């Protein structure tokens, strides 16, 4: 019996946790080393992906527990040298790997995968898919305070931007995505540049003679719902004939009083790309006797002017100086859109 006790005291043992060859270790897992009775820790080293981690410990202690700033996907190696009361030493090692990092696997806009260079609508349904279940996810817009994403309770690998969040039309935003997985893995903040579609812009031209007027409004983008655009039109023109096509509004009216002013007001319009008119578009039509117009009209008719006041960026265009299909697009016409409008 005495011999067995001596051997037990002479041969030190140690238990290292987490154990050797384990994987998926949480980032908040402590590293602990427990030596056998009367044994002391002579040397300890901890490496993360081959790089030593700073470590302080008491050489006289037989037990050690430390917390480290572990990162996702790291390989951790723990080396311990233990001494017995009679001076016999042994070395022990344990190598384990931490949980895999969180990765943004996919980003979709309104149910379709976001393609490189694709522009997003100002009020999108942005959905982020991750490689593992999350318990927290957020997004920061242009460095502002983080906005919590809505994690799908039935599929916690998916999180959606709240519908109350909107983007400025025509702007480029920097999105920073953050998140923490159920297994404690963290997402290294990922930055995505989001280019937002430009607002709907309307470019007007009006022509008229002998109390008749024709107003043409070309849109920078095809309308999502031409009938809705027609319903959003208000005018003081008497008995107007209004036609809304795919990308054009045409209003004609006869029997006008040349001494009166008329207005046309478009309360709203939405493009097929999710863009919209940022403010109501107001047009004032004024007729003035203009002898110089005889050369361009059949009678001593009138000259009309269109004034637009809105946030859409469209300016004013005189009736006889408006842009025609042959002369090319007007200044500011978006390069993405065909001219003349289809």
Would 336 be classed as within a structural domain? no
The confidence band for 126, taking pLDDT boundaries of 50, 70 and 90, is very high
C-alpha 318/C-alpha 205 separation (Å) is 7
Query: Residue 152: pLDDT above 50?
Result: yes
Residue 66 belongs to domain spanning: 13-97
Q: In this structure, are 83 and 175 located in the same domain?
A: no
* pLDDT of res. 240: 93
- Could you tell me what percent of the chain has a pLDDT over 90? 46
Q: In this structure, are 185 and 214 located in the same domain?
A: no
Would 338 be classed as within a structural domain? no
Kindly state the average pLDDT of the residues 181-201.
90
Contact between residue 124 and residue 203 where contact means Cβ atoms under 8 Å apart: no
Report how far apart, in Å, the C-alpha atoms of 3 and of each of 6, 7, 12 are: 5, 6, 15
Would 127 be classed as within a structural domain? yes
181 burial via Cβ count (<10 Å: 0-12, 13-18, 19+): buried
The two three-digit tokens of residue 90, written as one number: 């042994």
Would 1 be classed as within a structural domain? no
* pLDDT of res. 65: 81
* pLDDT of res. 313: 28
CATH assignment at residue 138: 2.60.40.1220
Would 137 be classed as within a structural domain? yes
**Higher per-residue pLDDT: 59 or 304:** 59
Give the tens place of pLDDT for each residue, 18-52: 999 999 999 888 888 888 877 777 788 899 999 99
CATH assignment at residue 42: 2.60.40.3780
Contact between residue 325 and residue 339 where contact means Cβ atoms under 8 Å apart: yes
- Domain boundary, last residue among 162, 195, 228: 195
The confidence band for 309, taking pLDDT boundaries of 50, 70 and 90, is very low
* pLDDT of res. 324: 39
Q: In this structure, are 86 and 147 located in the same domain?
A: no
Q: In this structure, are 83 and 109 located in the same domain?
A: no
**Higher per-residue pLDDT: 283 or 48:** 48
Q: In this structure, are 226 and 307 located in the same domain?
A: yes
Of 108, 139, 304, 97, the residue nearest 213 (C-alpha)? 304
**Higher per-residue pLDDT: 265 or 1:** 265
CATH assignment at residue 283: 2.60.40
The two three-digit tokens of residue 76, written as one number: 């951790």
Number of separate domains in the chain: 3
Q: In this structure, are 91 and 109 located in the same domain?
A: no
């Amino acid at each position: 019996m005495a011999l067995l006790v001596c051997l037990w005291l002479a041969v030190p043992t140690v238990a290292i946790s987490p154990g050797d060859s384990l994987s998926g270790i949480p980032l908040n897992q402590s590293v602990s080393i427990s030596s056998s009775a009367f044994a002391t820790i002579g040397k300890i080293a901890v490496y993360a992906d081959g790089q030593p981690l700073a470590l302080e410990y008491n050489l006289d202690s037989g037990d050690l527990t430390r917390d480290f700033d572990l990162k996702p996907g790291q390989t951790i190696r723990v080396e311990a040298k233990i001494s017995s009361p009679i001076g016999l030493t042994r070395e022990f090692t344990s190598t384990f790997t931490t949980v895999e990092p969180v990765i943004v696997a996919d980003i979709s806009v309104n149910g379709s995968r976001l393609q490189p260079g694709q522009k997003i609508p100002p009020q999108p349904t942005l959905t982020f898919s991750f490689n593992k279940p999350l318990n927290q996810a957020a997004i920061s817009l242009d460095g502002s305070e983080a906005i919590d994403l809505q994690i799908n309770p039935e599929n916690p690998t998916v999180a959606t931007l709240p519908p109350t969040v909107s983007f400025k039309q025509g702007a480029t935003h920097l999105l920073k995505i953050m998140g923490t997985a159920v297994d404690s893995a963290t997402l290294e903040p990922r930055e995505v540049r989001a280019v937002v579609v430009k607002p709907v812009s309307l470019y007007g031209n009006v022509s008229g003679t002998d109390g008749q007027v024709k107003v043409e409004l070309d849109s920078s983008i095809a309308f999502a719902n031409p009938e809705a655009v027609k319903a959003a039109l208000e005018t003081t023109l008497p008995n107007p004939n209004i036609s809304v096509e795919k990308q054009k509004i045409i209003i004609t009216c006869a029997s006008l009083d040349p001494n009166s002013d008329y207005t046309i007001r478009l309360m709203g319009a939405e493009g097929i790309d999710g863009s919209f008119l940022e403010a109501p578009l107001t047009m004032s039509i004024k007729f003035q006797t203009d002898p110089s117009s005889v050369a361009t009209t059949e009678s001593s008719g009138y000259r009309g002017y269109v004034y637009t006041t809105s946030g859409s960026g469209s300016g004013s265009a005189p009736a006889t100086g408006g842009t025609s299909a042959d002369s090319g697009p007007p200044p500011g016409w978006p390069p993405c859109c065909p001219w003349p409008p289809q």
